[in-house]
Amino acid sequence: MTHTLAVANQKGGVAKTTTVASLGAALAEEDQRVLLVDLDPQACLTFSLGLDPEALELSVHDVLLGRVSAAMAITATDDGVDLLPSTIDLAGSEAALLTRTGREYVLRTAIEDVADSYDWIVLDCSPSLGVLTLNALTAADSVLIPLQCETLSHRGVGQLLDTVRDVQRLTNRALVVRGVLPTLFDGRTNHARAVLADVADRYSLAVLEPPIAKSVRFAEAPAAGRSILATAPSSKGAQAYRAHARLLLGAPAAV
């Protein structure tokens, strides 16, 4: 059975792309067949996994517009995961999809053709609540919300959850929220812990452990075109994402 996970938060800079790349690599280490889908026109996931977005002939943009099948645009990466990459052309997909009948289902239909080849499909959502994110939520079994542990970072969580509820009501009744993943976490501060407690109480969300500690290792990894599991495999950040991958697989999360 293929599991499809959307990683979403309309606020930028909360480690969505880092989470997708790192979780994908950690799942691959567990012998899972993994496809990552870059749904951000900025193509940060594509770049982070060693591809040049400007040199790509085919991308998720072409897939969403029906020009090619998903299988034709997928490429392998050095981290052991496959990638459906993005380019700046994806920015035009939003406008094109707005006029399409059943526009919320385009991504789900596209990845159904390749789903049998993967155990996990992980969707890197754009930092917005537009048509691309609606497509991701409609295609997903579950959604994970990375959350920077600062006051301003959780102001949009309620809006995202409103969108999730609309999706559950209209396009994907089976969608579940796995919880909030604390990122850029500084355990030395009371503020970070207070933010997480507030989010848990305010939105009745599970706060997933362990938190992802702030580290320069995450900033260094994209320059190498690899995830942190390859560039700093023994780091606390890599170990934390391995723990979350084991949680996704139903195993203990010990680090």
pLDDT per residue as tens digits for the range 62-80: 999 999 999 999 999 999 9
Q: What are the strands, taking DSSP E only, across the chain? A: 3-7, 34-38, 75-76, 82-84, 120-124, 142-148, 176-183
> What DSSP character marks residue 200?
H
**Cα angle value 37/38/41 (rounded, 5°):** 155
Q: Is residue 255 part of a domain?
A: no
Q: Is residue 157 part of a domain?
A: yes
Q: How far is 66 from 96, CA to CA, in rounded Å?
A: 11
Q: Is residue 103 part of a domain?
A: yes
Tally of structural domains, the chain: 1
What's the CATH number where 26 sits?
A: 3.40.50.300
Q: Are 19 and 74 in contact (CB under 8 A)?
A: no
Q: What is the structure's pLDDT at 24?
A: 98
Q: How far is 141 from 249, CA to CA, in rounded Å?
A: 14
Structure tokens at 86: 């993005």
Q: What is the structure's pLDDT at 254?
A: 45
Give me the domain span that covers residue 105.
3-248
Q: What is the structure's pLDDT at 115?
A: 97
Q: How far is 137 from 67, CA to CA, in rounded Å?
A: 22
Residue 101 vs residues 91, 122, 141: alpha-carbon distances, Å:
19, 25, 22
Q: What is the structure's pLDDT at 203?
A: 84
Q: Are 181 and 212 in contact (CB under 8 A)?
A: yes
Q: What is the structure's pLDDT at 153?
A: 67
pTM surpassing 0.85? yes
Q: Is residue 254 part of a domain?
A: no
Residues (pLDDT < 70) of the chain are 151-153, 251-255
